[in-house]
Amino acid sequence: MATTAMPPTDEDTTGAPGSEEPATLPPDWDAILALHTALTALAGLVVTVLWGATGAGYYWPVWVWFGLGLPLALHATVRFACLAPAGRTRGLAIHAGVTGVIAVALVALWGLTSGPTFWPAWPILSLAAFLALHGIIHLYLNRVNSPERERRLVERVDELTRTRRGALDVQAAELRRIERDLHDGAQARLVALSMHLGRAEAKLDDRPEVAEMVRQAKGEASAAIAELRDLARGIAPPILADRGLEEAIAALGRRAAMPVVVDVELKRRQPPVVESAAYFIVAEGLTNAAKHAAGGGTTARVRVAEEIGRLVVEIADDGPGGADPEGTGLTGLRHRAEALDGTLSVESAPGTGTLVRAELPCVP
């Protein structure tokens, strides 16, 4: 088994999975505390019985209780203080717990020795002052970002970014797989169905009513094929996977219902999830431009460029403008961009055309 680097652990965890030593369970602190309590109680009971059996005068076992109880109280206090998260907080909790136990012990001692003055006052006050000072320092340090806390936050953000990106990559791969499966599976079967129906129809010249039924069946098959084709194009356009973003956008420009100037300069292929987002942003942008075009005369311009660490996608048109940035279409595009940690902005004052601009980060 390969050795993996052990992450910093707090005292309650042991070997990370995959390390070479056999995994050991953390000690069961609660059971140890319970055992300690039981032994203390047992000892106390034994000496009490002893006291009873030897005359039951002054209850001397109280000193045994005191002497055994103090360590038990410290143990219990430290155990529960350790429930606080590792680090500075735990230190403060232990300090507070121990201070409390000592204070109680001093008062108990004063009670047992029945001294005239309350001598524990000064010790307790100094312990309290010491604890208060610790508490103040703790609060101050928490207000200021300690390097450790910041390091942990940075690590967590990195991890979240990585896993979110991982999830999106998985989704993009899934969509391509679905498109392939549709192509090789359901779509192909429908084509074969259409073929068989066609061959049957060709043999039914003498039965025109039956031929007509077969023709209708073929019509349904064709409709299903067309719908699946549109579906496939909507989730993973073949040309995007086959030829890349530049050609796919050029194809979008040619298909658009208005003249489109395409200006795409890419030196290499982007990750599938970035290509897919850029493609659909352009597709939706052009559809919107065509939808709101003032009856012809609108032209559009698509620009895709690699800048340092990001892909810039712009769709500009000289139509009537006045697009609603909160509309469902544009909001959907913004979500696509933001899912990749990117941004999408819309400038569309009435009368001055529309500019949709997306910035998608990509690894340089």
Partner 1 sequence: MRAVIAEDHALLREGVVALLRENGVEVVAQAEDGPGLLRIVAGHKPDLAIVDVRLPPTFTDEGVRASIEARQRHPDLAILILSQYVEPVYTAELLAAGASGVGYLLKERVGDVRGFLEAIERVAAGGTALDPEVVAELMQSRDARAGDDALAGLTPREREVLTLMAEGRTNAAIARAMVVTPGAVEKHISNIFGKLDLPGSDDDHRRVLAVLAFLRAGQA
Where do contacts with partner 1 occur on this chain (CB under 8 A)? 180, 183-184, 187-192, 194-199, 201-202, 218, 221-222, 225, 229, 232-233, 238-239, 241-243, 247, 250-251, 253-260, 262, 299
C-beta of 20 vs 206, nearer to partner 1: 206
Q: How far is the CB of 229 from partner 1 (least distance, A)?
A: 6
CB of 193 to partner 1, least distance (A): 8
| Residue with Cβ nearer partner 1 (115 or 259) | 259
Cα radius of gyration rounded to whole Å, the chain = 38
Q: Which two tokens stand for residue 219?
A: 């019509």
Decide whether 212 or 338 has the Cβ nearer to partner 1. Answer: 212
Shortest approach of partner 1 to residue 254 CB, angstroms? 5
Minimum distance from residue 286 beta carbon to partner 1 (Å): 11
- Name which of 102 and 175 has its Cβ closer to partner 1: 175
Rounded to an integer, what distance in angstroms lies between the CA atom of residue 62 and that of residue 247?
90
Minimum Å gap between C-beta 168 and partner 1 is 23
φ/ψ of 354, rounded to 5, equals -130, 140
Q: Which CB, 160 or 188, lies closer to partner 1?
A: 188
Which is closer to partner 1, CB of 151 or CB of 203? 203
Tell me how far, at minimum, the Cβ of 278 lies from partner 1, in Å. Answer: 18
Minimum distance, C-beta of residue 245 to partner 1, in the bound complex (Å) = 13
Q: Residue 98 or 241: which CB sits closer to partner 1?
A: 241
